[in-house]
């Protein structure tokens, strides 16, 4: 009986570790996931990377920019995410973070802060209230796109 209890506790521990290090991605991974979706042109995966509040707004801007070249036009929503390098990530709270990114060609001191929030991809919602796998998502409503002069500036 004691051995069975120890094996059960070991399995629970392994599940917890797997959940924390495999499923619970850091904010930087979310930006990379959304950037990959933008680069591949996967609109649904791109939109899943945004919070509920900003998803409809990004979908509308995406629909309006269908005629623009995503790699060259700064008006296209993909442009902000498809060509960026991650410089740093700062967690402001357990539910909020900022990821500093820089486009190729920018000076080393320049960059953009992408605001992040904890949210849920719609396919992981159960009964529209319980999230099976909460993850980091981009909060486009707080994104200003302003150029920053220093990586330490907020």
Residue 17 is assigned to a structural domain of this protein:
no
Predicted TM-score (pTM) of the model is 0.70
The total of structural domains in the chain comes to: 1
In a domain, 136, yes or no: yes
Residue 72 belongs to some domain of the structure: yes
**Tokens 């059960």 label which residue?**
8
Residue pLDDT, tens place only, 67-93: 777 666 666 677 666 656 788 888 888
Q: What angle do CA 101, 104, 110 make, to 5 degrees?
A: 50
Q: Which residue has the higher pLDDT, 29 or 152?
A: 29
Interval 10-52: pLDDT, tens: 988 887 776 666 566 788 888 888 888 888 878 888 888 898 8
Domain containing 103 equals 24-142
Distance CA 149, CA 146 (A): 10
In a domain, 9, yes or no: no
CATH number, domain of 104, equals 3.10.450
For position 23, what pLDDT does the model report?
A: 61
Give first-to-last CA distance, the chain, whole Å.
Answer: 56
Distances (CA, A) of 30 to 117, 126, 128: 11, 22, 22
Kindly indicate the confidence band of residue 119, based on its pLDDT and cuts at 50, 70 and 90: confident
């Amino acid at each position: 009986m004691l051995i069975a209890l120890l094996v059960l506790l070991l399995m629970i521990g392994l599940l917890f570790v797997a959940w924390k290090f495999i499923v619970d991605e850091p904010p930087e991974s979310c930006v990379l996931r959304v950037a990959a979706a933008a680069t591949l042109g996967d609109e649904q995966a791109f939109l899943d990377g945004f919070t509920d509040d900003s998803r409809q707004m990004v979908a509308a801007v995406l629909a309006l920019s269908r005629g623009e070249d995503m790699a060259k036009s700064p008006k296209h929503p993909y442009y902000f995410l498809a060509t960026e390098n991650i410089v740093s990530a700062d967690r402001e709270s357990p539910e909020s973070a900022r990821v500093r990114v820089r486009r190729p060609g920018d000076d080393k001191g320049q960059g953009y802060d992408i605001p992040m929030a904890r949210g849920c991809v719609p396919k992981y919602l159960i009964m529209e209230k319980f999230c099976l796998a909460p993850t980091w998502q981009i909060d486009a409503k707080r994104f200003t796109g302003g150029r920053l002069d220093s990586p330490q500036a907020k």
